[in-house]
Amino acid sequence: MPFFITFEGIEGSGKTTQLLRLLEYLQGLDYQVVATREPGGCPISDSIRTLLLDPANDEMASRTELLLYSAARAQHVVEFIKPALAAGKIVLCDRFSDATTVYQGEGRGLDRKKLEEINEFAAEGLTPDLTLLLDYPAEEGLQRARERNQVGNLESEGRFELETLTFHQRIRQGYLDLATHEERVYIIDALGDEDVVTERTISVIDRFIASRSSA
């Protein structure tokens, strides 16, 4: 039962934590499931990730950023995601094309039609079966992300945390707007205790798998 399930949300929304909890839950049900992330997921894409998220690269042009994300995705799809799906596995991915649509579209102001064309090309037409959008207030998420990077000594991954609050508010709104146009996108309220958010996430997953199993 191969499914491609992605997690989206602003920095600090808790999507990575919830993805790992869902991985454990599905493995406990004896599903074949793997977890991955973007940018990254394979050696070449991980190298590109280092360039993209390094705060030292604050002069990176928006089009350069877009093309690097797309290059990382192209390799990730070919080397990891499609082979896993072909093997019948559930693939959980921390960010995918929706992140490019929102961050480079709403965040950077790049042309939406061009973004769609580049996303389509980079992903070879691959679209998630289900996208879980972890919705969280931008100000709180940004603060959480910055604290996480400081505690974990992850300053080298903090380029987007250096953006303004207004930027992150645009990103959150961009995700919410996306959810109104894409039926595969489910909004998960990410406020509250992590266990409660996990319950909300699992509820959506259980309904999704049941609907696909009975189809």
The structural domain count of the chain equals 1
Q: Please give the pLDDT value at position 70.
A: 98
> Who contacts 171 (Cβ-Cβ below 8 Å, separation ≥6)?
10, 102, 103, 106, 107, 138
Radius of gyration of the chain (CA): 16
Q: Which residues pair with 134 in a beta bridge?
A: 188
The residue length of the chain stands at 215
For residue 125, the domain's CATH number is 3.40.50.300
**Is residue 53 within 8 Å of residue 158, measured between CB atoms?**
yes
Phi first, then psi: give them for residue 92, nearest 5 degrees: -105, 125
| Predicted structure pTM score | 0.94
Range of the domain at 94: 4-214
pLDDT at 154: 47
* CB count in 10 Å sphere of residue 201: 23
Residue 127: alpha-carbon gap to chain centroid: 13
Q: Render each residue's pLDDT in the chain as its tens digit; 215 residues.
A: 899 999 999 999 999 999 999 999 999 999 999 999 999 999 999 999 999 988 889 899 999 999 999 999 999 999 999 999 999 999 999 999 999 999 999 999 999 999 999 999 999 999 999 999 999 999 999 888 888 766 554 444 467 777 889 999 999 999 999 999 999 999 999 999 999 999 999 999 999 999 988 76
Q: What is the pLDDT of residue 158?
A: 63
